[in-house]
Amino acid sequence: MSPFVPGYHPAQIPLRFLDHHTVDWSRVQRSDYLIHQRVSYDYPSPARELRHRLVVVPADQHGQQRLYDYKIQVFPAALSQEERIDEFGNRILDFYLPEVADTLVFEVWSTLQQQVGNATRPRVAAGQAHDYLQPTRLTAIDEKLTAVAAQLRQQHAEPYQLADAINRWVYGAMRYERGLTVVTTTAAEALALGGGLCQDFAHVMLAICRAAGLPARYVSGHLLGEGGSHAWVEVLLPATPAAAAGSDRIAWAFDPTNHCLATHNYITIAVGRDYADVSPTSGSFFAAAPGQLAIRKRAGLTAVAYADGEVVRAEDGA
């Protein structure tokens, strides 16, 4: 449980948030967050043998971010519900329902804390980091991406500077535009179109990073102030310039959509090679017609604790 809202269950916490723009982040030691997500499917006729996978609850720990608690409610109730951790360290929730008459709803509440005053970045073993050098279907390179990677690598030999240059290049080369791409659009296709959504920016950056020799992974989560989900990139860099080749890597989070580092305004849900690894909802069922998916999400700041001991809570009316 969050130390700032003692006695509350996540389902009982009102969706009232602090305005993160009014917080003096230079003095903040800890910050509390609440995420509420509603995933629903409407079926025109009864659906049978539903097997559903959700990736909507963060891992216990991701760098300075820690999960306190989560609650999930399913309507109608699932016959079976299992939790597992996948190969990337993500929390996966699996459900089985023998039949749904018309509507299936998942309600999820999560409470988290970030140790803002202690900017601990995620560490990744060298062997695992190597896996993030490999292209995927969504991040496969073409001549254009290869040329960009080669040019930027020639201009920036130091790994962090190279990652920062790639982040800057993607931001300048792409425009944010809805309706231009779909979730199966590849990095090469998005770059050829010149725009897309946050996942397209992330895929383009991933493709260039990997082609330039930088292991990088896709991150799904939330950016405070935006209503829905967001995507960015973690580039896995040596801890120091002199670090041995087999040493752990440090994950530096870059947001190419907004040309910045992902910091305290970002909440990480899952990481993977690309969007396909972290898709928030997927599954299978038998029915005469497909269901209609609707997702509603809210994520916000519920409390901050300053280094001098002052605590400001959303319920205080701040």
> Residue 257 has what pLDDT?
98
- Residue range(s) in the chain whose domain bears CATH number 2.60.40.2250: 15-118+279-312
- Residue range(s) in the chain whose domain bears CATH number 3.10.620.30: 123-277
CATH class of 123-277: alpha beta
Count Cβ atoms below 10 Å from residue 296 Cβ, excluding itself: 12
> Residue 126 has what pLDDT?
87
> Residue 317 has what pLDDT?
53
> Residue 11 has what pLDDT?
45
Beta strands in 43-172 (DSSP E): 47-54, 61-62, 65-75, 80-85, 91-100, 103-114, 123-124
pTM of the predicted model as reported, rounded to 2 decimal places? 0.91
Residue with tokens 């500077």: 161
> Residue 3 has what pLDDT?
33
- Beta-strand pair 311-313/292-306: antiparallel
Beta bridge partners of 220: 231, 270
Instruction: Identify whether 76 is preceded by a cis peptide bond (ω within 30 of 0).
Output: yes
Q: Among the CATH numbers 2.60.40.2250, 3.90.1150.10, 3.40.50.10470, 1.10.1030.10, which is that of 15-118+279-312?
A: 2.60.40.2250
User: Can you list the alpha helix ranges (DSSP code H) found in the chain?
Assistant: 126-131, 143-155, 159-173, 187-193, 198-211, 275-278
> Residue 99 has what pLDDT?
95
Cβ–Cβ under 8 Å, residues 58 and 65? yes
> Residue 127 has what pLDDT?
87
pLDDT truncated to tens, each residue of the chain (318 aa)? 333 333 334 444 456 899 988 999 989 999 999 999 999 999 999 999 999 999 999 999 999 999 999 999 999 998 999 999 999 999 999 999 999 999 999 999 999 999 986 678 999 998 899 999 999 999 999 999 999 999 999 999 999 999 999 999 999 999 999 999 999 999 999 999 999 999 999 999 999 999 999 999 999 999 997 767 899 999 999 887 766 667 889 999 999 999 999 998 999 999 999 999 999 999 999 998 888 999 999 999 999 999 999 999 987 654
